[in-house]
Amino acid sequence: MSSNDDSTNLYAALHTAPEPPLLAQLTRETHLQLLMPRMSSGHLQGRFLSMLSHLVKPRRILEIGTFCGYATLCLGEGLAADGQLHTIEIDPEREARIRRYVAAAGLTARVQLHIGVALDVLPGLVDEVWDLVFIDADKRNNDAYFEAVIEQVRPGGLLVVDNVLWGGKVLPEHALKSGDKDTPLVRAFNDKIARDARVEPVFLPLRDGLLLLRKT
């Protein structure tokens, strides 16, 4: 990230609603205790997810990839009064922290945490109709997650896919460079979505890239 990007992000954060104290506490704990703390959504992206949730007022949210629970709490802020959020985390060692912060946010009764491989958990949720889906798990399976849930998203519902810039490695100037195994899969997913008539996409260069999709 260039210094200009750093300056832009700092300016954006200063002109965005402040990070709630509970989320600031979770951010500190994540950086102190977890590997790869950058995987947490963080202040700016978190406020964006909260804004989306407030606008949609979803009755059903699906999150694929919980990590520390930061985005979970942000998405939960806009839940309808009778709403429920299902979140899937693969690592059982993260369960206690997630449940502790969900409880501190007063969301225990409205958040259902599933521990396991997402593609194994999702078939058990086939009766749900999703208003808002956030995909933020292993990037090589973005397409598999999308295909697993798209038919359950209501018309006009939203899907948000994180890390679609993949550190800039999906950009054309990097196309001929050797990279990690995930990069071609992220690039192929992005290209597919741009042509998929089932959704209307907007690619946002926010943080590591967010793909905002409206189900048509």
What pLDDT band is residue 149 in, cutting at 50, 70 and 90? very high
Q: In what order do the strands lie in the sheet with 210-215?
A: 111-115, 84-89, 60-64, 130-135, 153-162, 210-215, 199-204
What pLDDT band is residue 180 in, cutting at 50, 70 and 90? confident
In this predicted structure, the answer to whether residue 8 has a pLDDT above a threshold of 80 is yes
In this predicted structure, the answer to whether residue 175 has a pLDDT above a threshold of 90 is no
Return the half-sphere exposure (C-beta side, CA atoms, 13 A cut-off) of residue 139: 24
Q: Over the chain, what is the mean pLDDT?
A: 94
In this predicted structure, the answer to whether residue 66 has a pLDDT above a threshold of 80 is yes
DSSP string, the chain: --HHHHHHHHHHHHTSPPPPHHHHHHHHHHHHHSS-GGGS-HHHHHHHHHHHHHHH--SEEEEE--TTSHHHHHHHTT--TT-EEEEEES-GGGHHHHHHHHHHTT-TTTEEEEES-HHHHGGGGTT--EEEEEE-S-GGGHHHHHHHHGGGEEEEEEEEEE-SSGGGTTSGGGTTS---THHHHHHHHHHHHHH-TTEEEEEE-STT-EEEEEE-
pLDDT in the model for residue 4:
53
What percent of the chain has a predicted confidence (pLDDT) above 70?
A: 96
53-64: average pLDDT: 98
Q: Tens digit of pLDDT for each residue in 73-123?
A: 999 999 999 999 999 999 999 999 999 999 999 999 999 999 999 999 999
The better pLDDT of the pair 197, 179 is held by 197
- Structural domains in the chain? 3-215 (3.40.50.150)
pLDDT in the model for residue 32:
93
Tokens, residue 188: 């192929």
132-143: average pLDDT: 97
Amino acid sitting at position 116: G
pLDDT in the model for residue 128:
98
In this predicted structure, the answer to whether residue 1 has a pLDDT above a threshold of 70 is no
Other beta carbons less than 10 A from residue 33's beta carbon: 10
pLDDT in the model for residue 39:
87
Q: Cα separation of 13 and 18, whole Å?
A: 8
Q: Cα separation of 1 and 214, whole Å?
A: 29
Amino acid sitting at position 109: A
In this predicted structure, the answer to whether residue 173 has a pLDDT above a threshold of 70 is yes
In this predicted structure, the answer to whether residue 3 has a pLDDT above a threshold of 60 is no
What percent of the chain has a predicted confidence (pLDDT) above 90?
A: 88
What pLDDT band is residue 178 in, cutting at 50, 70 and 90? low
In this predicted structure, the answer to whether residue 2 has a pLDDT above a threshold of 70 is no
pLDDT in the model for residue 188:
96
Q: Are 16 and 43 in contact (CB under 8 A)?
A: yes
